[in-house]
Structures are given as C-alpha cells and as structure tokens.
Amino acid sequence: MTAIPKPRPDGIVRFGKRKAKHDDRNLMFATLLKAPPALPAEYDFDVVHHGIPTPMFGNDQYGDCVIAGRAHQTLRFEKAEQGKLIAISDNDVLHEYFGESGGVDSGLVVLDSLKEWRKRGWLAARRRYKIKAFAQIDQARRSELKRAVFMDIGVGLGFTLPDAALTQFYAGKPWAVVGGKAGQPNPRNGHYVYVPGYTRSGPVCVTWGRKQQMSWAFLARYCDEAYAIIDAIDTAKKKRALDAGKLDAFLAALRKKKSKAAKKPAARSGGRHG
C-alpha cells in the first residue's frame, strides 16, 4: 500500500463497518470475569484522564471507522500505559485501513480486523502496537459492558444504524430509538465506535470527531457486535476483575491449534474441476 486513494466528494461522515461476522469459537468476556466490582452509576475514562482529543481520523472522507475506533482506543491505552498522549495521525489510520482493505474504500469486517490487531499489531506514532486479546461481550447485558468500561478495557461496538441516528447526530442529540422507517436498522449504515464511558442513560462513544451519548434502548436495538479489547492485564483494576490464568490458557490453546494446522500436510490436488 503506497498511496491513499482520493476521498469520495462531499464528505461529512462515512460508514465503514461491513456485515457482522460471528464465530462460536470466540472467547466470551463473561468467562474471564471474577467477583464483580462495585460499579459507579457513571464512569468515563476521559473524565478521569483529562485532555484526550477526539479526532475524526479521516472518517468524514473514508469508510475507516473500524480503524478510527482502534486509534481512539490506542490513544487511551497509551495514556494509561505511558502517561502521555501519543501522536496518532490521519495517515497512520488510513495506511492501516487501506492495508487491511486491500487498497479499496470498502469498509472492514470488525472480527477480521481485531484478529489482525492481535496478530501483527498496527503502526501508530512510529511504533507498533498489539493487543493481547479480544473477547465478545453480550451486549444484552449492561453489566458486562459497564464492567469492561470501568476496568479501562474499553469496548468496541458495531451497529447497523438507522437513518434517524444521522439526524440526531447532526442536531447534537443523543442516539435514541424512534419509530417509523427512519428508525429501522439500515444495512447500508454499518458503523463501528469505541466506548470509553457510560452514564445512567447509556453508553458514551467516540465517533465522527466527538463524544456521542446513546440510550440503553438504542444499544439493544441497533448493536450487532460488541467486544472488550484487552492490551494487557497490568493494572489493579484489571487484576482484581479479570482471570489472567483463564485468558492465558485460552491463548495458549489457540496457538496450539494454529501450530497443528500449520503442520498438517496440504491436501493433494485431484485435477481440474469444472
């Protein structure tokens, strides 16, 4: 990938999450949880750690929301790890996006992109960042999402947004469920966001250059995939709440399966097929 394609004209916001891919072999976040912590009624990483920006990361010109969400999460991971903001650029995001998409502005499959992040990481601010693991959240259970956010793991959510979500966003209003055609999930509106906080009303995500409140009902209606993304179990919060042994055992079993698959001899060709 040597060049970023020219953006489509008249960009305001772009969608870029392709149809959700589900895998029954995914690690489930609930299996990693130890005794639940006392959760505050409201929590936001950005309130505890002041001064974190919310760049657009090119998502007004390209359908790179999956990698833009990754960039927003990486900013916060490294704020907690390094105690400083790293300088992630639009070009960092766009080079990763087009590298994963094969050079076309086609959007990305969230699950496939998470696997890439775990396997080979991505280059941001002149350094390669990998995650340790990702785990699927049951988005129907508010407590799972809230626990992940409160542990400063953070959550990536995929949506099939209704047209009404754009009207609400442009008006500066929270995302809420509405009736009629505008309130129906639109398969052309696949979108991915990073969630650093929640209120009594619902999750707070970062998208399209700003923070966006949504209702719990909105989450239940339009979210079609949710992941907790874990860079390391290295803080007091995470150590208290996550079972590191179970996570390491899952990852070891995953590596063992891949090793066996790699050693398996390839099937012999049976000739041409029509």
pLDDT of residue 93: 98
Q: Write the DSSP string, 80-106.
A: HHHSS-----HHHHHHHHHHHHTSS--
Q: Where are the alpha helices (DSSP H) in 128-273?
A: 142-150, 163-170, 216-222, 236-241, 244-263
| CA separation, residue 117 to residues 20, 247, 262 (Å) | 17, 17, 20
**Which of these, 33, 28, 74, lies nearest to 244 by C-alpha position?**
33
With contact defined as beta carbons under 8 Å apart, do 30 and 138 qualify? Answer: yes
Length in residues, the chain:
274
Average pLDDT over residues 239-262: 87
Mean pLDDT value across residues 185-199:
98
CA-to-CA distance for 166 and 154, rounded, in angstroms? Answer: 24
Predicted confidence (pLDDT) per residue in 145-179, tens digit: 999 999 998 799 999 999 999 999 999 999 999 99
Domains of the chain: 54-252 (3.90.70.10)
Residue in 209, 26, 190 with CA at minimum distance from that of residue 108: 190
Is residue 269 very low, low, confident or very high in pLDDT (cuts 50, 70, 90)?
Answer: very low
Is residue 119 within 8 Å of 83, Cβ to Cβ? no
Q: Mean pLDDT over residues 101-106, rounded?
A: 95
H helix and E strand count, the chain: 9, 9
pLDDT band at 2 (very low <50, low <70, confident <90, very high): low
C-alpha to C-alpha distance for 232 and 77, rounded to whole angstroms: 9
Question: What pLDDT is stored for residue 57 in this prediction?
Answer: 98
Concatenating the DSSP letter of every residue in 56-82 gives: -TTTTTSS-HHHHHHHHHHHHHHHHHH
Residue 256: left (phi > 0), alpha (psi -120 to 50), or beta? alpha
Q: What is the pTM of this model?
A: 0.92
